[in-house]
Structure 1
Amino acid sequence: MQMKKDIEKNNTKKFTELFSELEHCREEDQKQKIEELNEVIDEMDGNEFFWTFTKEMFDKMDKMIDEKKISMENVIMLLKHLIYGSVLVEYLFSYIRYSSLRKRIEKMIFFENEKKEEKNEKLLVDLCECYLLFDNTLNTELIPICMPCLLKVALNKQEDEETQKEVEMALLSLSCLRKGNEIKKKKYLEKIAEIIKCHQEHRNLTQLAYQSAWSILMRRYLEDNDLTGVIVNELHFVKEAARELEELVEHLDWKEKEDTWEKAGFKTNEFLNVDRWLDICCNFFECFEIYDEEFSDLIDCMTGLCRVARENHSDIVFRCCGIFVKMIIYQPFLIVFNDLLKGGVFDFILEEIRDQTFDGCMM
């Protein structure tokens, strides 16, 4: 534990020192310095994000822009990597909403969007991504600007690595929108469904992009019940979730223990993929009070997930059991109960009870 704290202090100190050097660099050298800062960000955990990226840090960035010590382009380069790193350690920024940098980004989005000529589309996309991913207290006037701007990027079907990364960031940003009333427009949701369908046919999205697209649809379902047929019958969510989780079950190192995450400060990306799919499944079974014959495949898959995770990943087992409970609460009881029985869920639970009782006797 002490070693972990020392690493945290070292990373925070290293970032702070490199950042202080940034304002004294020539513009042509700043990109190299930012790459060094990004390398430090890659080593940080959520606790380090909390202590490093304070309101004062964001205010400092804004002041450096005013004093022409750094360009907005270089600030965005740093911010986008910072955002992506925070997603991987599941850290939600809270300080930026009070900073002068947030106000600058807001003003720039309005200004760039209102341009009649020579509009910088790339800058507008970058600003919208930074704004949506950083701030969960959005100015609702910005949502009608950011939504179509990022959706246009997300619809790019080219499969080169750079485009895939751009699509991933756009979908990740859109998945952070939690204000439903301003984005009920069905055409947006139809476009997200189109993106998902295209991936199912061509596998052209990254894992994080695909998960983000599903998150957008699930969150919007509460405001638009017409999505039921699309999500269940056209996009076959249950079948897709089972397939994705099965692949993770097969390819992950289930011997990696939870305490190794604590030493590193965060889970590996692959295990975060499991968490994200379970989150989406949880949302699904809370929203949909209908039965689909593909449920049994997902139940089989999740039971298998519980079995491989039981020794070293109790948090995953706990989350799967929570989803089974939601199935029983929200779905037709007798049918789902039968699927749970056939899927071996109750056998697994009885095994757990037996093993824990046996261990207790041995102690």
Structure 2
Amino acid sequence: MKILVTGAAGFIGNFVAERLCLDGHEVVGIDNLNDYYDPKLKIARLERIQHLDNFRFFKMDVADREGIETLFAQEQFQRVIHLAAQAGVRYSIENPMAYIDSNLVGMATILEGCRHNNVEHLVYASSSSVYGMNEVMPFSTKDAVDHPVSLYAATKKSNELMAHTYSHLYGLPTTGLRFFTVYGPWGRPDMAMYLFTKAIADEQPIKVFNHGQMRRDFTYIDDIVEGVVRVQDKVAQSSESWSAADPTPDSSKAPFKVFNIGNNTPVELGYFIECVEKAFGKEAKKDYMPMQPGDVLATYADVDDLANEVEFKPETSIEYGTQQFVDWYKSFYLTERKSA
């Protein structure tokens, strides 16, 4: 099939594009290569897959209405995996308009492209952050998610609502994926795994928010990719059992579905730091700090629906995944630094 992957220079998008190419699909990737973090890392990710004959890349912003409209009309994609977004909970507090442009306007242009070009299935990135003030664990897609605590989370919930509307009005099959704290080699520099490893390498203190009293459902990149690929192959369908008298948010009479993709194993922040220290072979200096605005105390994914419907459940251990990241970091950054 011919598949569009947005955010192809991003962490998840890059690995998804690679996997789809290796599976034999024709993949078109787009990304605006913005400077939210070092564009050199994004370019290096693209260089990983530029040798693949069935991959083409265009530098393009998903909020570019005319550009996206032309791309869809020319390429006639069969499926779309929309992973481009302005990421980061804390950044959304200081730069809200970046999230409106990328996450809301960008989603609308992709939905319009799919609607007008007979796309078979749109799979898009949501986030565990939509659970906001929910306290019942594990987080289930059948729970209401009406109280976000960051604008980033609000835009991701909005994406799900927008997708449902297009599924209902135009019969466009859509599936949203709520990712839980994705990490691994080539990961984002604003994520804890990267920040902690860099701080240890530079002999700088790491910032431990809420004094380490937090838990995260860290999910390894290979598990995320496997989940995305399996889900895109299972086109969303209307649910015959769905009832307006007792509605559940994860399905509908329209061809609409939402899944969690998480490791189903929350990890204490303190133990996570120990794993990074062990993998690096060096103890971290620590600055204990209060809870940050927009953060939540814990994330924990219920992935029963994912296991039941696509026969997959993430299981990569934090110990293995941390070692893989640290090995990549040392190779990519420290080796380069020594040779400079």
Q: After TM superposition, is the score higher than 0.5? A: no
Higher relative contact order (CA 8 A, sep 6+): 2
Greater helix share, 1 or 2?
Answer: 1
Greater strand share, 1 or 2?
Answer: 2
Give TM-score, length-normalised by structure 2: 0.28
Which structure is larger by alpha-carbon Rg, 1 or 2?
1
